[in-house]
Chains A and B, each alone.
Chain A
């Protein structure tokens, strides 16, 4: 076991996969000589050379399309979005070509590529650098969307994403890069399509992902003291959603709270609620509750920013409330 920071877990995943498969390469802004803005590609430029760790000009839509073309012709690109928010500038290439081209071409081409980088609300980074694009991209057909949350799953999921033959949007969280965890010394891969049961429980199902997993974990400490036994599920795969795991939990607890960092309107939670209504309405003892970020551009001011995203105390209160209204 080796204690590893999350950004190094990601780096190890990339290094291992580049060593394993010479068609894997990294491209993006400052990934090479600079080593990545969060050091996820540190020293890889020296190890693999300038073509396999390609520093690109600041041209998100074009270098994303370039990765699509490289993937169509047999390479396995990993794009680093210096900040995932910048990928709004690449929306066309991600949606039309990464996402839809395999279908539109009638299966002529596959697009094995990973688009990864820091998303989420950081500390007073301002609205444009605090985006949660998972919600914007979830409607695009053909994309897989994954959010990692611990060093262990970050490494295993990124390796799986690189090996997947489809485009994977891989969300890291800007505030989780320095999480530490003991990682196994042996190689491991974590499946992309499986949610993770963080804490089994019986009273209520809490569905969450990315940094909010850690807010939920904090809230659970208080809930345990009050004798409440929630089941916490980290969704991991935001598209497609793992309804095997979600459904099994609902059948056990009959209550669901969603805790997400994206905005409420058109968010991941909105899609989950609609799907739960489709699939498990009869299992529910209470309406599904979602705790989401406010529908506003993330404000710079620290207090306002804190008010914008869901805090552990709010999660605790919402769970307590739901359990108290037990039917």
Chain B
């Protein structure tokens, strides 16, 4: 058997955070968690269809990275895209409506769980095939550099954050795009959410070099390993990578070590991951950990945290009502959106 990679010991960074910033991150993580829990409930009640991949356990990565971006930066996701969309600012009601296949969904009911899009929020998409979002994200990053350097627009300093999993890092598009991003110094963050498993394929069984961040070095870009269960740590590396990208210093590969608390999708029986492994990671729940951080550093109190949780619960309930009450797409519009007009 392959020897499993030992989880490194991380030193929590001392990057300061204000109460307001802390509560923004907390709210974002709670939103992600509660949204996904509601999705599981709706799926099992037969209200949601198709393949639904939940993000529980990985919230520190989405919140830590995307909340370090500006609203005009770009986000590119995978099939596990609900929470990235939420962190990017797509309203929960429009994501929920999309999962219900409704016209009010962010992809107008044409996309579904794995194809969330919002041009308004610069969400480039949920991409359902492994690795195919990376080149698209690279294109958005190229566009920023093109506007800045070919068209001379100094305000074109947008950064693109591209998320994908450990399984993707054995795919050619990953390597091809690391190469081009470094070659052309593109403003992009490659964020690997290493949750150890590609459905039933353990990461160590799929790759000759399990330490993904080390793969950056051969392309000459920085590779950083970070505790993906610690939003403060993710935020710290993301801020540094965003600053580098925005300054025109090129891409960064971030490997966030994390874990999904549920199966690959809601259709996955999840029989291969050991109970001990799951328990060890559940004990590292990023939300509980961040609650402790906020309280230990006297940044907030339990009452304020509860207020956040209650507010988000209401938002999720409202999103559900919105999704249920929204109309289905008009059958007359079956062919709409095949081609852009004009």
Contacts and interface: CB of A to CB of B under 8 A. Distances in A.
Interface of A: 22-23, 25, 49, 51-52, 56-57, 59, 61-75, 92-93, 96-97, 101-112, 141-142, 144, 165-166
Contacts of B341: 165
Given A51-B146, A57-B176, A69 B138 contact: yes
Given A70-B139, A104-B107, A104-B110, A62 B180 contact: yes
B108 interface: yes
The 9 A-B residue pairs whose C-beta atoms are closest, nearest first, are A69-B139, A65-B135, A106-B108, A105-B117, A62-B176, A69-B136, A165-B340, A59-B176, A110-B340
Given A62-B134, A102-B339, A109 B142 contact: no
Contacts, number: 149
- The B interface, classified by DSSP as helix, strand, loop or mixed, is mixed
14 contacts: A51-B145, A52-B150, A59-B179, A62-B135, A72-B119, A73-B124, A74-B143, A75-B143, A103-B337, A105-B110, A106-B108, A106-B337, A107-B337, A109-B117
Contacts of A92: 129, 132
Interface of B: 74, 76, 105-111, 115, 117-119, 124-125, 127-129, 132, 134-143, 145-146, 149-151, 172-173, 176-177, 179-180, 183, 336-342
Contacts of B128: 96
Contact of A108 (B74, B117, B135, B342): B117
Nearest to B339: A166
Contacts of B127: 97
Contacts of A111: 340
A107 B336 contact: yes
B145 A65 contact: no
Nearest to A103: B337
Contacts of A101: 117, 125
A97 B75 CA distance: 16
Nearest to A51: B150
B146 A102 contact: no
Contact of B135 (A49, A68, A144): A68
A142 B108 CA distance: 17
A240 B222 CA distance: 47
Central interface residue in A22, A92, A107, A142, by most chain B CB within 10 Å:
A107
A165 B342 contact: yes
A231 to B, nearest CB: 29
A74 B140 CA distance: 9
A92 B131 CA distance: 11
Contacts of A75: 143, 146
Nearest to A52: B150
Given A25-B150, A51-B150, A105-B110, A69 B132 contact: no
Contacts of B106: 106, 108
A96 B111 CA distance: 12
Nearest to A75: B143
A69 B115 contact: no
Contacts of B111: 104-106
A25 B146 CA distance: 10
Nearest to A99: B338
B153 to A, nearest CB: 10
A109 B139 contact: no
B135 A64 contact: yes
B115 A105 contact: yes
A96 B129 contact: yes
B136 A68 contact: yes
Nearest to A90: B135
Contacts of A74: 143
Given A72-B140, A73-B139, A65 B134 contact: yes
B115 to A, nearest CB: 5
A106 B338 CA distance: 9
A185 to B, nearest CB: 29
Contact of B132 (A59, A73, A96, A107): A96
Given A97-B132, A104-B110, A107-B336, A69 B179 contact: no
A73 B74 contact: yes
B262 to A, nearest CB: 25
A70 B107 CA distance: 20
A157 B3 CA distance: 59
A69 B125 CA distance: 10
A97 B136 contact: yes
B105 A106 contact: yes
A71 B151 CA distance: 16
